[in-house]
Amino acid sequence: MINRREFLMAGVALTAIAGAPGSWSRAAARQTLTQDALLDMEPTGTLSILHITDIHAQLKPVYFREPSVNLGVGPVEGLPPHVTGADFLKLYDIEPGSPMAYALTSEDFTALAKTYGRMGGLDRVATIVKHVRAERGTDNVLLLDGGDTWQGSYTAQQTLGGDMVEVMNALQPDAMTGHWEFTYGTERVQELIDTLPFAFLGGNIYDAEWDEPAFDGWKMFERGGVNVAVIGQAFPYTPIANPRWMFPEWSFGIREEDVARNVAEAREAGADVVVFLSHNGFDVDRKLATRVEGIDIILTGHTHDAIPEPVVVNDTLLIASGSNGKFVSRIDLDVADGKVKSYAHRLIPVFSDGIAPDPEIAALIDKVREPYSAELARELGRTDTLLYRRGNFNGTYDDLFCQALLEERDAEISLSPGFRWGTSLLPGQRITVEDLHNACAMTYPAAYRSTMNGSLIKDILEDVADNLFNTDPYYQQGGDMVRVGGMGYAIDIAKPIGERISGMTLLKTGEAIDPGRDYVVAGWASVNEETEGPPIWSVVEDYLAKNPVVTIEENRSVAVKT
């Protein structure tokens, strides 16, 4: 297994040469973050598995700030991935100010982003994939996509996922599963799946009318002389977290018994290795690994966690590969007599200045984006504040959205969903149409305006908090806390549902929220079919036209008790 120091090789080297964070130039960073150093790994065994997940339609390199707050509850409190910032650096022995500190934490993000540049880009991911295939032999490599691939950008919205399918097909994965893909609706999703030259796996998706599997649950691959069974698991709470009316033909769930049955079938069919390609979320997969035997590797997705080492649960490796194309996980396996004898793992950071774009994929990306290039580049304003979304309770990007909803929809309180997708913008950057849509491109974007009494608002906050902080992972649905504008509150995450939220206050007046009084509330991304209102991107664009320079003050409206 690759150790922490080997993983951090490039970062330590750069820190030793350059000194304090932010004191060296981009040129120096490029010289040290070479492609050879980033991709170097001592091979193990005959089989390599590559994992990408939660790309959210980001074809080009991006900035993406990891969370500063990611709290765990119950038995996982303080365990990865619920470790952030300086504690994360200490846990994994990562040098502050190093490339890996920038890639994996929010520490000194703005300064380090200016040093190390953007990350991701599917043309760079392609370079990594082709490198491993050339080194190991194509017949010895599996490339697996954990889902949330087709949604999250302007071009994906315009093509209903077609741009992503075209580029991913060229990347030639072996299998994928899904989540946000389903928000394009049953007909479009099935149409796109029918064009895939690889397997779409979802063993936990059933035909709602016939109560039978709607997709293949698993597929056997022979790679490196090894029989590898890949079991696909789509996001189990898709009809709750997203509009059920968009895909009424399908039902979802964790379906633990089906997972166990698929593992048993795969083993009986001769699988030497069983890989669970999952979009459950990390804590759900951690619990599942304690209850289902026979899984060698869980490639976990949905919660956007990036962890530099596997988490081992019983005999199962949990691999978390981040989001937005920032990382590619590589796992080498030495398999003999139907068992994994040893493994090596590397979370490969996709530094766009250090890894050369693959010419073929780069040209294809330019081709699918070209019809929209002028609109993508249209400037809406600029930001003096770091704009980011990730974090359990607030993000400056959603603070911007909440302020736009308050002003443009003439509301007292605003709500913005705690999605974990959405890229970041550095202070001084332009805000373009592409940047805005990277934070809100979706198929149910209506910005509603309605009245809600104080009791209902509290119930909404309590419900979302329970989705995030229920001590049983099987009741967690991923995502972060709904963002709130115009209102403050306190939350005690250790308390049960109904008792977590207190101190609700209308910020404009300082008055306590009255349970019986009606308030004008604006929000977006309602799962209700009849929701009316302009798309959220129009609301924010109108706000930016009046407020072209964005300055967000530190959000102190949520008091967190842990």
CATH number for the domain including 411?
A: 3.90.780.10
Domain annotation covers residue 107: no
pLDDT for the residue 35: 94
Do 433 and 380 form a contact (C-beta atoms < 8 A)?
A: yes
Beta bridge partners of 318: 298, 311
Q: Examine the domain organization and report whether 434 and 328 are in the same domain.
A: no
Q: Please report where in the chains the tokens 């994996």 appear, as a residue.
A: 104
Backbone angles phi, psi at 232, to 5 degrees: -95, 140
- Please give the pLDDT value at position 9: 42
Q: State both tokens at 68.
A: 């500063």
- 325 and 387: one domain? no
Tokens of 109: 């993000």
Q: How far apart are CA 481 and CA 275, in angstroms?
A: 31
**pLDDT for residue 525 is more than 80:** yes
- Looking at residue 404, its amino acid is A
Q: List residues bridging with 175 in a β-sheet.
A: 144, 199
Is 393 in contact with 449 (CB distance < 8 Å)?
A: no
Which of 145, 120, 95, 113 has its CA nearest to residue 388? 113
Average pLDDT, stretch 24-48? 77
251 and 397 share one domain: no
* Cα–Cα dist 315/274, whole Å: 12
Last residue of a domain, one of 309, 334, 368: 368
Indicate whether 456 and 342 sit together in one domain: no
Please state the domain count of the chain. 2
R_g over Cα of the chain: 23
Say what the pLDDT of residue 462 is.
Answer: 97
Residues 151 and 291 in one domain: yes
Let me know: does 387 contact 445? Beta carbons within 8 Å: no
Domain presence at residue 96:
no
The answer to whether 262 and 204 are in contact (CB under 8 A) is no
Is position 410 within any domain?
yes
Residue 431: name the closest of 547, 555, 350 by CA.
Answer: 547
Domain that holds residue 128: 33-62+118-368
Q: Is the pLDDT of residue 412 over 80?
A: yes
Residue 88 domain flag = no
Could you give the percent of the chain with pLDDT greater than 90? 93
Q: Which residues pair with 142 in a beta bridge?
A: 49
Average pLDDT, the chain: 94
The answer to whether residue 504 sits within a structural domain is yes
How close are the terminal C-alpha atoms of the chain, in Å?
35
Question: What are the tens digits of pLDDT across the range 5-18?
Answer: 444 444 433 333 33
What is the model's pLDDT at position 231? 98
Q: Are residues 266 and 137 in the same domain?
A: yes
Domain stops at, among 368, 403, 424:
368
Task: Examine residue 104 and state whether it is found in any structural domain, yes or no.
Answer: no
Q: Give 32's pLDDT tier (boundaries 50, 70, 90).
A: low
**Residues 383, 299 share a domain:** no
- pLDDT for position 477: 85
pLDDT for the residue numbered 296: 98
Q: Which helix (H) or strand (E) holds 362?
A: helix 359-369
What CATH number does the domain containing 279 carry?
3.60.21.10
The predicted-structure confidence for 350-387, as pLDDT tens digits, reads as follows 999 999 999 999 999 999 999 999 999 999 999 999 99
Give the three-state DSSP class for 491. Answer: strand
Answer whether residue 292 is part of any domain.
yes
Task: Please tell me what DSSP assigns to residue 323.
Answer: S
Please give the share of the chain, as a percent, with pLDDT higher than 70. 94
* 340 and 466 inside one domain: no
Q: In the sheet that 558-561 helps form, which strands lie side by side, from edge to edge? A: 501-506, 487-492, 558-561
Q: Which residues contact 322 (CB under 8 A, 6 or more apart)?
A: 53, 54, 304, 305, 306, 347
In a shared domain, residues 393 and 245: no
Shared-domain flag, residues 41 and 187: yes
Same domain, 321 and 220: yes
- Cα 138 to Cα 144: distance, rounded to the nearest angstrom: 14
Residue 76 domain-assigned?
Answer: no
State which of 368, 390, 418 marks the end of a domain. 368
Pairwise CA distance, residues 119 & 55, whole Å: 12
- Kindly report, residue by residue over 447-501, the tens digit of the pLDDT: 999 999 999 999 999 999 999 999 999 999 878 999 999 999 999 999 999 999 9
With a CB cutoff of 8 Å and minimum separation 6, the contacts of 113 are 63, 102, 424, 426
Same domain, 437 and 342: no
